[in-house]
Amino acid sequence: MIEGDHQPRLPCRGSPFAAYLLLTILALCSIFAFEALGSDSVGSTDEVLGETVAGSIVLDVYLDSEGRALIVGYLETDRLDDLAFLGGSEYAHDEVTGELYAKSDGLTSAQGDGTWIEFEAGADWNEVHLAFYLPAHAGLLAVSCSEGLEYSVIEAEDSLKVEVLGYEVEGIEVVIDYDLAG
């Protein structure tokens, strides 16, 4: 060592081996980063726990006085067979955007002046946001929701809006009883 030259130096400084090693490390890091970004937990199976994660469900359900429902919104799932509310419905679901459009006669039931809607969607949901718009002049009798879901009722235009929210929910069950005699 030359006297006065006390600066630390990296081994192999300037060698092609160090440059290749650095490029290899960067390439491996970028591959792992792309794999992490490309993996999608929506509709996938957690291999460690074996649980299915369905994603999010954000829907508006418009009901008329004849018991028909128009359902529009978004849902992230690849398991439409777990969604009981789509049974017997005409629907279109875009798997890329998650957009859903459905018409159903099977969500509501009636007895006398009382009518109720039963909405069910199996699987586990990260986020649930449902808005049910009751027919004009309907009177709300009762609302019940499965565990983990909360609801609120507000007046919206010419009808009542029952809004249901939840996070990290195992299955969705909502029953709304209302009276059309009003």
pLDDT for 128: 96
Shared domain check, 66 and 32: no
* 52 pLDDT above the threshold of 90: no
Give me the number of domains the chain comprises: 2
Do residues 73 and 58 make contact, with C-beta atoms less than 8 angstroms apart?
yes
Rounded to the nearest integer, the mean pLDDT of the chain is 77
Shared domain check, 28 and 108: no
Q: Which domain CATH number covers 128?
A: 2.60.40
- Across residues 1-23, what is the average pLDDT? 50
* 76 pLDDT above the threshold of 50: yes
Shared domain check, 159 and 87: yes
pLDDT tens digits, 115-162 = 899 999 988 899 999 999 998 888 999 999 999 999 999 987 788 999
At position 145, the amino acid (one-letter code) is: C
How far the first Cα of the chain sits from its last, in Å, is 99
* 182 pLDDT above the threshold of 80: no
Assess if residue 98 is contained within a domain: yes
pLDDT exceeding 90 applies to what percent of the chain?
42
Shared domain check, 29 and 98: no
Burial (CB count <10 Å: 0-12, 13-18, 19+), residue 100 = buried
- Across residues 9-36, what is the average pLDDT? 44
Shared domain check, 111 and 81: yes
Assess if residue 3 is contained within a domain: no
Q: Which domain holds residue 168?
A: 56-179
Checking 154-162 for CB contacts under 8 A at 24+ apart, the result is 159/133, 159/134, 159/135, 160/133, 160/134, 161/131, 161/132, 161/133, 161/134, 162/131, 162/132, 162/134
pTM value is 0.70
Shared domain check, 36 and 78: no
pLDDT for 7: 53
